[in-house]
């Protein structure tokens, strides 16, 4: 049985080392907040491990002693009791000291985290929906306000302020390699400041149970150099690309005639729905349906043809389309870079 335990232990360690390269991991920090937190996690873990080992040693000690079988249970050695009392009091004292230390440590870590957002130039409003993220870039100039979905581009190396709220149920925004999580609560506005040290793509997902498709409510933070970020913003402000091929033109017509138009917006066309993700530049995004599928022609077709198969319970309805119609709409959307 001991061997079994060792095999289990060894397997656990191997699995542990394997997974450390994860891209949605609190142990793989890519920003100042997550780095501070990863340090805190390791420190707490180390200290707790030491305490645990000490308790286990204390538990193992009597197993090495001789049995106390024949002694009368009520006959207690007063001297030994006093020694024990001193040991117990010392242990309690040490516990208190450790706890005070950890409390102070977590208090100062909190201050460090709060300092990250002291001068944010960019504010992004993130609104949770069942089961996708609406992302709105705020700007003093109304024409520069930008709405997109699920993917949040930010300039690398700069602190960014996220305003978090929800229009339906409670969600929680969590990109572990950048920061801890914060809830999106209807009727409230929470503020989360994040910063990515380097350009990269950081995955996150909803962390508060929000219904049927809680599992498929992913998001990506895409950190880019400032110039590239500015260029991206300008591109996104442009209206949708006009379809070029006949098939895509047919697709645009179909999109505007079918129920799609009731919920989705495509800038530069009459489609102005706001209850579902903005599709003006959908083909420039990396995933579909909040991280459920990677962006590709095949996946677009699969998602439109069978949304309830891809993401059961989602609010995207099945729209009755023939094969040709489906292809046309996919061709149109695929062009919306």
Residues 15-44 that bind another protein (CB under 8 A): 15-16, 18-19, 21-27, 34, 36-37, 40-41, 44
**Residue 110 within binding range of another protein, rule CB under 8 A:** yes
Interaction mask 265-304, another protein, x per CB under 8 A: --------------------------x-------------
Size of the site for another protein (CB under 8 A): 104
Closest separation between CB of residue 242 and another protein, Å?
A: 34
Residue 214 to residue 205: CA distance in whole angstroms = 9
> Rule CB under 8 A: is residue 82 a binding residue for another protein?
no
**Residues 313 to 332: which contact another protein by CB under 8 A?**
313
Give the strand order in the sheet containing 146-149.
Answer: 146-149, 132-137, 122-129, 160-166, 190-194
Closest of 306, 299, 293, 309 to residue 330, by C-alpha = 299
Distance of alpha carbon 171 from the chain centroid: 11
Tell me the C-alpha distance between 51 and 290, whole Å. 42
Residues 247 to 266 in contact with another protein, rule: CB under 8 A = none
Shortest distance, position 283 Cβ to another protein, whole Å? 21
Nearer to another protein, 187 or 323 (CB): 187
Interface residues for another protein in 83-102 (CB under 8 A)?
84-85, 87-88, 91-92, 95-96, 99-100, 102
- H/E stretch holding 322: none
Residue 131 near residue 213 (C-beta atoms within 8 A):
yes
DSSP string, 134-191: EEEE--SSGGG-EEEESEEEEETTS-EEEEEEESSS-EEE--TTT---EEE-BT--EE
For 25, the 3-state DSSP assignment is coil
Helix (H) or strand (E) holding 21: none
With respect to another protein, which residue has the nearer C-beta, 214 or 281?
214
Residue 79 as a binder of another protein (CB under 8 A): the answer is: no
| Cβ closest to another protein, residue 5 vs residue 140 | 5
* Residue in the block written with tokens 């208190």: 96
Residue 117 CB, shortest distance to another protein, in Å, is 13
Of residues 114 through 143, those in contact with another protein by CB under 8 A are 114, 130
Residues 163-222 that bind another protein (CB under 8 A): 164, 168-170, 172, 174, 176-177, 179-183, 185-188, 190-191, 203-216, 218
Based on the shown chain and the rule CB under 8 A, indicate whether residue 78 belongs to the binding site for another protein. Answer: no
When binding is defined by CB under 8 A, the residue of 8, 231, 256, 262 that contacts another protein is: 8
CA 157 to each of CA 74, 118, 154, 197: distance values in angstroms, whole numbers, following the listed order:
69, 14, 9, 5
Distance between CA 25 and CA 276 in Å, rounded? 29
Q: Which is nearer to another protein, 127 or 213 (CB)?
A: 213
As measured in angstroms, the least distance from the Cβ of 309 to another protein is: 10
CB 161 → another protein: shortest distance, Å? 14
């Amino acid at each position: 049985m001991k061997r079994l335990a060792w095999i289990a232990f060894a397997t656990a360690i191997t699995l542990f080392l394997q997974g450390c390269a994860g891209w949605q991991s609190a142990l793989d920090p890519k920003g100042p907040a997550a780095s501070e937190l990863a340090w805190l996690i390791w420190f707490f873990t180390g200290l707790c491990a030491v305490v645990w080992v000490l308790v286990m040693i204390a538990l193992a000690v009597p197993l090495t002693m001789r049995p106390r079988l024949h002694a009368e249970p009520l006959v207690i050695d007063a001297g030994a009791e006093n020694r024990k009392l001193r040991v117990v009091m010392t242990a309690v004292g040490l516990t208190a000291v450790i706890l005070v230390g950890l409390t102070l440590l977590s208090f100062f870590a909190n201050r460090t985290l709060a300092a990250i957002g002291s001068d944010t130039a960019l504010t992004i409003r993130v609104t949770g929906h069942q089961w996708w993220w609406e992302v709105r870039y705020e700007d003093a100039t109304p024409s520069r306000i930008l709405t997109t979905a699920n993917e949040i581009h930010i300039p690398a190396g700069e602190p960014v302020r996220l305003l978090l709220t929800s229009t339906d149920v409670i969600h929680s925004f969590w990109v572990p390699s950048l920061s801890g999580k914060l809830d999106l609560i209807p009727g409230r506005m929470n503020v989360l400041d994040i910063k990515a040290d380097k350009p990269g793509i950081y995955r996150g997902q909803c962390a508060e149970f929000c219904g049927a498709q809680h599992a498929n409510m992913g998001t990506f933070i895409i950190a880019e150099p400032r110039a590239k970020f500015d260029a991206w913003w300008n591109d996104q402000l442009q209206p949708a690309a006009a379809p070029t091929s006949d098939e895509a033109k047919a697709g645009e017509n179909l999109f505007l005639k079918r129920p799609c138009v009731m919920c989705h917006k495509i800038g530069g066309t009459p489609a102005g729905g706001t209850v579902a993700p903005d599709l003006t530049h959908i083909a420039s995004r990396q995933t579909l349906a909040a991280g459920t599928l990677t962006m590709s022609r095949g996946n677009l077709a699969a998602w439109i043809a069978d949304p309830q198969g891809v993401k059961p319970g989602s609010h995207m309805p099945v729209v009755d389309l023939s094969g040709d119609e489906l292809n046309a709409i996919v061709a149109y959307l695929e062009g919306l870079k």
